[in-house]
Amino acid sequence: MKASKSREVHSTEFGFNGSMTMISYIRKKGKAVLLLSTMHHSKMVDEISQKKKTEIILFYNQTKGGVDTVDQMVGYYTCKRQTQRWPMVLWYNMIDIATLNAYSFFRAQHPEVSTGITNARRHFLTELAKELVTPHMKSRLEGTPNLPTYITEAMGRCGVIKAANQQQERSTEGQQKRMRCQMCPRNKDPKATNCCWKCSTPVCNGHSQKQIICDNGTQ
């Protein structure tokens, strides 16, 4: 069934196995087109035409044009990446088909939205991607207080910068600046988060009273 230089152009090889029929059609020199069908079981060839196409090829051209159209549209905007893992290949294809179906449904329900807009499908995919990732980004902001800067910047580019700023403010509000206790010698250098409520001097737990008053204060 493979292409070979010895086979003539527009020639066909047939193979039958139970209810399945496979053909190998030489479209041009050294190039073979393979088709498998469970509907056709004969060697019918259109001898009138110059290309001598088989019944399977003619049926495919008449009824399966949408498959080629979908492949062409998916190729314009695709999420596929080079990978050695075959499950990822299936997953990329599922996402491409799902987004194309979503765009088709959206245009059917809102034909006036994409009228006169250049690259309407590209804008639709951009908004769809934002709608899908925004809930995950917001939950990550709420669950992780100290995210790296490059992640928050990426979230800002996706329109979640306001939530990122609010999260950063909440994380800094609950943190008190640690300062060195003014009552301890420098060789100890203990850190303190409490201050005297009268003179605002940083004092550690050892030098503070229950009312957080330093030793210089009066009770």
Same-domain check for residues 28 and 55: yes
Domain of 86, in residue numbers: 68-109
**Does residue 96 sit in the same domain as residue 129?**
no
Residues 168 and 137 in one domain: yes
Let me know if residue 1 belongs to a domain: no
- Least Cα distance to 97 among 82, 124, 78 occurs for 78
The reply to whether 58 falls in a domain is yes
Cα–Cα distance measured from residue 219 to residue 210, given in angstroms and rounded to the nearest whole number: 11
pTM across the whole model? 0.50
What lies within 8 Å, CB to CB, of 15 at 6+ separation is 1, 21, 22, 23, 24
- Number of structural domains (the chain) is 4
Q: Give yes or no: residues 87 and 125 share one domain.
A: no
- Domain membership of residue 139 (yes or no) is yes
Say if 114 falls within a structural domain: no
Q: Count of alpha carbons within 13 Å of 49, Cβ hemisphere only?
A: 12
pLDDT tens sequence for the chain (219 residues): 887 878 889 889 999 999 999 999 998 888 889 999 999 988 888 888 888 899 999 998 888 878 888 988 999 999 999 999 999 999 999 999 999 999 999 999 988 877 777 788 899 998 898 888 888 888 888 887 778 888 888 888 777 755 445 545 555 444 456 677 767 776 776 776 666 656 667 777 666 654 445 555 544
